[in-house]
Structure 1
């Protein structure tokens, strides 16, 4: 059997992150679920970003460097991956790889952090025609199956993306409080989504990652470029036109502003990534902002 998807995710984590950075990343993840019950675990060295209130001053006085108290959550912060698996996510991302590859790294990274803390991980995926829910479990074999489902169900001949369908399903069917990681296609959000997002934010902790589209006006002129939404081939003379390039850039900027405005209004922390190499930094920043917002 070849390399598993989760193994590839771990490789990215370990290659791009030193031990101290990984500890910070795991610490940020552990802190995002506000209102949790905590039990004292042990002491560890202070690292930038730790809460001053967690410093154990008596223990610090006996050592040459600050020590902080480490706690463990007595209530699980179960994670639900919410992934768009419509055909839009089979198209190219900004870095050139399929957008689903970026989604798999994001889902795998946060899922791995959750399982490291003893949390359960589930998946809600789908497209404009419907939603599929996978159960919550707490082992790596299950996380690998979830990543495989994202990979195999996201195809260029699949149905259109419409993440609103999946988010409405969660509003109707999920009652328990969860941490949601939403990985979305780079499309204009439905204006009617605002109310759904506000309702989700009241009940859940939410992290939102948008996977950026490749820029069709910057692709090698010798390559054929196809819009996966309608399978229309974009003529080379059109996409290399200076006027088209400018209009496309303006349209993307307007879409990004509209998305940011909607998510900000709903109180949801969000980011954009163009490649799987961007995911680690983006997730760390999201977790840090979530911790500060929840503090």
Structure 2
């Protein structure tokens, strides 16, 4: 069976231009403070890099700005916080399973973090409970983390419990870390808001939402849909109803916008993804939002 990390790396190359990958890598490096004086190698300059890191001699030789990369003076900690309830086995708006998008996103940022010498751990859970997996930085370790996500998410898995997973993180992750939360569309209620305020004081938070599938039929004959979270069906005749479609679109737009504004008000940068092809540019945009918010 092909490795999940290999799939992630292959798709990163297929779905994203080299420039976009450089932007993501440069953005990730720029959100961390401090470095050693041990030179590692050179890479293309991307917005957000320090001007002082430009190697002017190498730039003159190659005809484009190149910056020096340094070996990290201390390892930082990236925690992948993934909702593994059965709703993540559902279909996303782009037609792929939410699980595949979640694995791609977690794997992409985890791989880049490890390339920078940082360690990566996983906290995953659902209604049956939350489990933490230790930190590491090897390819084998990242493969293990991605497989845990892949194995836990299925149509037979318990319901999601994001509140429970985040509560575990608030209690169990003591070291200040960067959290990448990968979850379904969420409503930020009073309980979640209080929990996020606590987490925001403890850690830096990046939030990725894997968008729900479009429940309404836009053209042609609709078929019945099944809600994996509530274990209920949505008949085709309802999906074809024009008035319901208008109400659904307005409600979805309002819900997504409200969640983004609430997270922003809490100081949490967020991005919504609907397909694996959006993962690299989406992560890059997310990190850039986070970097700007810290200024």
TM-score, length of structure 1 as denominator length: 0.91
Mapping of residues 64-75 of structure 1, within 5 Å? 66-75=65-74
Give the match's secondary structure for 1:73: coil
State whether residues 43 and 67 of structure 1, in contact with CA within 8 Å, keep that contact through their aligned partners in structure 2: no
1:135 aligns with 2:134: yes
Partner of 1:91: 90
For 1:232-247, list aligned pairs within 5 A: 232-247=232-247
**Distance of 2:11 and 2:55 partners within structure 1:** 37
Count of matched residue pairs: 293
How far 1:40 sits from its partner (Å)? 4.9
Conserved? CA contact 2:16–2:281, under 8 Å: no
Structure 2: distance between partners of 1:65 and 1:253: 42
SS of equivalent to 2:250: helix
TM-align CA RMSD: 2.3
Deviation string 1:115-144 (CA, Å, 9 cap, x unpaired) is: 111221111011133211111111111211
Which residue is equivalent to 2:51? 53
Q: Report deviation, 1:66.
A: 4.5
- In structure 2, list runs of 5 or more residues that go unmatched: none
**What residue number does 2:103 align with?**
104
What is the CA distance between 1:23 and its match in structure 2?
2.9
Match in the other structure for 1:77: 76
Runs (4+) of structure 1 exceeding 4 A deviation are 55-67
Residue matched to 2:287: 287
Change (3 A) 1:239 1:37: same
Measured against aligned partners, the alpha-carbon deviations of 1:145-168 in whole angstroms (never above 9, x if no partner) come to 111111111111221112111111
Q: How far has the Cα of 1:48 moved from its partner?
A: 4.0
Cα 1:249/1:71, change in 2 over 3 Å: same
Distance verdict in 2 for CA 1:110–1:3, change over 3 Å? same
Question: Do 1:224 and 1:233's aligned partners in 2 also have CA atoms closer than 8 Å?
Answer: yes
Cα distance 1:56–1:79, how it changes in 2: closer, same or farther (>3 A)?
Answer: closer
Please report the TM-score for the alignment, with normalisation by the length of structure 2: 0.91
- The residue number in structure 1 matching 2:231 is 231
Report if the CA contact (8 A) 2:40-2:71 is conserved. Answer: no
3-state SS of the aligned residue for 2:249?
Answer: helix
SS of residue matched to 1:39? coil
- Provide the C-alpha distance between the structure 2 equivalents of 1:66 and 1:230, rounded to a whole number of angstroms: 53
Contact 2:72 2:117 in 1 (8 A): no
Kept after mapping to 2: 8 A contact 1:45/1:65? no
